[in-house]
Amino acid sequence: MQGNDAFEVLKLPSISKMSEELGYIEYVKVKQNSLKQGVGTWMLSNLLMHLKKKWPKVDSVYLMVPHENQIAQQMYEKIGFKRLN
């Protein structure tokens, strides 16, 4: 990641706890010109660390991504997310 442009996001991500062991991440979105620069991976990694500190008992996290968003799907799978469908 280089320069300030890489940190421009379309919407700030959020985390929530769905149950004692289940977390949810919403809105991991970066600008088109910042794709494939590690911004989404960096944001998601930090969100997961924050979620684990805030709710230590959460051992599973889910998110939703449109089927056509292949770039996001690749990023999530690289981090360790598994497809449920």
- The CA–CA distances, whole Å, from 17 to 44, 47, 56, 85 equal 16, 13, 11, 22
Residue extents of the structural domains in the chain: 4-79
**Could you tell me the fold of the domain covering 4-79?**
Aminopeptidase (3.40.630)
pLDDT the model gives residue 77: 93
pLDDT the model gives residue 8: 55
pLDDT the model gives residue 40: 85
Residue spans of the chain under pLDDT 70: 1-12
Q: What is the rounded CA–CA span in Å between residue 50 and residue 83?
A: 23
The answer to whether the pTM exceeds 0.85 is no
pLDDT the model gives residue 48: 92
- Which tens digit of pLDDT belongs to each residue from 41-65? 888 898 899 999 999 999 999 999 9
DSSP code per residue over 42-62: HHHHHHHHHHHHH-TT--EEE
pLDDT the model gives residue 58: 95
